[in-house]
Chains A and B, each alone.
Chain A
Amino acid sequence: MFDTEREIIESKIRLCLDCGKCTVVCPVAQHDPEFNPRLIAQRRLSQNSHSPQDETIWQCISCYMCVERCNYYVKFPEFIHGLRAEALAEGAQLQCTHGGALQALQHMMAREDLLQDRLSWLPQDIELSEQSDTIFFVGCAPYFDIVFSDLEVNTLKGVEGALRLLNRAQIPFNILANERCCGRDLLLQGDREGFLALAKANMQEFARYGVKKIITNCPECHYTLKVDYPNVLGDTGIQVMHLTEVIAPLVQSGELSLGELEKRATYHDPCTLGRCSRIFDEPRQILRAVTGLDVVEMEQSREKALCCGASPWVYCGAVNRQIQDQRLTQATATGADILVTTCPKCQIHLRCAQKSRDGKIPQVEIQDLAFLAARSLDIGGESVG
């Protein structure tokens, strides 16, 4: 299933020309001169005997900016994930953020006999179709809103918005009461065993309910279910779509109309939805369909969008904070009232920067796209973020 040597070859890292373009565009390298993707590759590939562990491998935020720029499309972050797996196998200790709460949660979620009680937030008026072979994959939002309650994030509002849009569009779907974390964070950390356990538990649930199609709101779940699961487990026979891919065509064709919102908004492309899944237009089409909404672009957007500054709940420090500040400053420079994203983790990371700067950093409102779209129809749920 996993073979680190094979992965290193498949990352095409040996095609590296040593041109250094990755270092120029890498947001981490911009703030930390010690971090250098090209040299990480050199150090690992020239290893003829056992060399001391490269500590800088933990700093990469898997933003895929370097891949975008690379002449040979070397998948550097995937190479890094392989190096992390190697390091963990050699006994490296993860520097977990948030006291390791997320890792503990993800490992517990992988238990086979687990019977979660994770749907109490689900509003009564959301219509589920129990017979449908399409499911909406909720992701970890119910957990995030508790673990990060100090940050006053409300990632479930995005999920609720997504469900209401699907209901409004009359697309039938079910929700699984015992879905697990998709496992992407563990995969990015190099914890293969943990990832596999979650992936298998999810696949069992999907099989039990005969799932044929999955819609997600979280870009990470989307990519993991669509790309990583088949990569690791073989063909899953399940079609995976991001909510924006489902909603945008309906909005474009006029089958679904959105409401009105007199605001200015800027769209923050989550790395995984944009550079990994190449979904750049759909979210913007949805935003433009909201009457009165003035949609503006940040200095860095689409393929060049800046990351929210942190990745799989490991190794977060001053550099990450600088990237977050930079992104929030770009958003404010557009004059936007709202920074729109589709990723709960972007929300958490940017909100964390706003909170910890105690008002000294732009307090642009951060909202989920699905919530905003539902809100324009007055179906966003009771609280207007």
Chain B
Amino acid sequence: MNKSAIHLVVFACNWDGLSCIEEAARGGLTYPASVRVVRVSCLSRVHQGLMLKAFELGADGVMLLGCEPGNCQYDIDAGLVTREYEKARIVLGLLGLGKERLVLCHIPRGDGPGFVRRVTDFIKELEQVRPAIPARA
């Protein structure tokens, strides 16, 4: 993995989350190639183990991108993911890597520019924190 760039993993839900990314692509908007998108059916499927695994494999930051409250296709809304997100953030804090490396984002459906803005802002924020996390040897 090229460690000069900030590596970001985006877990995007198949609905509103992914719609933003698709809109960004349709609109020809660009964002760094070091951003990897992992499509999941719903953010409630992403538990702390997956979030931490991304960091173990060398991600500098993880973004959880899901539907705005009330829009969940499975009527689960943010309950489960919020719980897992909070736990993973505390663990990142204990590890000394910093809680700010994990964010939970709800962007309006189909907001391509909003997604690109959030991703680029997040990368800028990560550049300010500690040096990039070395990938596991």
Chain A interface residue bracket vs B: 20 to 34
List B residues 45-70 near A (Cβ within 8 Å).
47-50, 52-53, 55-56
**Chain A positions within 8 Å of B55 at CB level:** 104, 108
Interface 0/1 of B106-131, CB less than 8 Å to A: 00000000000000000000000000
Among the listed B49, B91, B96, B134, which residue makes an inter-chain contact with A146, where contact means beta carbons less than 8 Å apart?
B91
Q: Are A100 and B53 in contact (CB under 8 A)?
A: yes
> Which one of A109, A116, A146 has the highest number of Cβ atoms from chain B below 10 Å of its Cβ?
A146
- A345 CB to nearest chain B CB (Å): 17
Interface 0/1 of A146-167, CB less than 8 Å to B: 1101100000000000000000
Chain B residues bordering chain A, tally (CB within 8 A): 19
**Chain A positions within 8 Å of B26 at CB level:** none
The distance in angstroms between the C-alpha atoms of A166 and B50, with both chains bound, is 39
Q: Are B94 and A99 in contact (CB under 8 A)?
A: no
The answer to whether A98 and B93 touch (CB under 8 A), given A113-B134, A149-B87, is no
**Chain B positions within 8 Å of A107 at CB level:** 56, 136
Q: Are B87 and A104 in contact (CB under 8 A)?
A: no
Interface 0/1 of A100-117, CB less than 8 Å to B: 110111011101011111
Interface membership of B90, Cβ < 8 A? yes
The distance in angstroms between the C-alpha atoms of A172 and B134, with both chains bound, is 37
Return the chain B residue nearest A178 by Cβ. Answer: B96
Q: Are B52 and A146 in contact (CB under 8 A)?
A: no
> Which one of A104, A117, A149 has the highest number of Cβ atoms from chain B below 10 Å of its Cβ?
A104
The answer to whether A117 and B52 touch (CB under 8 A), given A146-B87, A147-B87, A149-B87, is no
Interface membership of A280, Cβ < 8 A? no
Q: Are B96 and A99 in contact (CB under 8 A)?
A: no
Among the listed A96, A115, A147, A150, which residue makes an inter-chain contact with B96, where contact means beta carbons less than 8 Å apart?
A115
Interface membership of B3, Cβ < 8 A? no
Chain B at the A interface: SS class: helix
Interface membership of A142, Cβ < 8 A? yes
**Chain A positions within 8 Å of B134 at CB level:** 111, 113
The answer to whether A143 and B91 touch (CB under 8 A), given A108-B56, A113-B134, is yes
- A310 CB to nearest chain B CB (Å): 16
Q: Are A116 and B49 in contact (CB under 8 A)?
A: no
Interface membership of A263, Cβ < 8 A? no
Return the chain B residue nearest A197 by Cβ. Answer: B137
Interface membership of A118, Cβ < 8 A? yes
List B residues 4-63 near A (Cβ within 8 Å).
47-50, 52-53, 55-56
Return the chain B residue nearest A150 by Cβ. Answer: B83
Among the listed B47, B83, B94, which residue makes an inter-chain contact with A142, where contact means beta carbons less than 8 Å apart?
B94
Q: Are B87 and A114 in contact (CB under 8 A)?
A: no
Q: Are A99 and B95 in contact (CB under 8 A)?
A: no
The distance in angstroms between the C-alpha atoms of A149 and B93, with both chains bound, is 16
Return the chain B residue nearest A106 by Cβ. Answer: B56
**Chain B positions within 8 Å of A96 at CB level:** 49
The distance in angstroms between the C-alpha atoms of A256 and B12, with both chains bound, is 58
Q: Are B91 and A147 in contact (CB under 8 A)?
A: yes
Return the chain A residue nearest B92 by Cβ. Answer: A108
**Chain B positions within 8 Å of A118 at CB level:** 94-96
**Chain B positions within 8 Å of A109 at CB level:** 95
The distance in angstroms between the C-alpha atoms of A104 and B52, with both chains bound, is 6
- A139 CB to nearest chain B CB (Å): 13
The distance in angstroms between the C-alpha atoms of A102 and B24, with both chains bound, is 36
Q: Are B95 and A104 in contact (CB under 8 A)?
A: no
Q: Are A143 and B47 in contact (CB under 8 A)?
A: no
**Chain A positions within 8 Å of B91 at CB level:** 101, 105, 143, 146-147
Q: Can you give 15 contacting A-B residue pairs, CB < 8 Å?
A: A103-B56, A104-B55, A104-B56, A105-B91, A111-B134, A111-B136, A113-B134, A115-B96, A116-B94, A117-B94, A146-B87, A146-B90, A146-B94, A147-B48, A150-B83
Residues of B at the A interface (CB closer than 8 Å) are 47-50, 52-53, 55-56, 83, 87, 90-91, 93-97, 134, 136
- Extra pairs beyond A101-B52, A142-B94 (18, CB < 8 Å): A96-B49, A98-B49, A99-B47, A99-B49, A101-B91, A103-B56, A104-B49, A104-B53, A108-B55, A108-B95, A113-B134, A114-B95, A116-B96, A118-B95, A143-B91, A146-B87, A146-B90, A146-B94
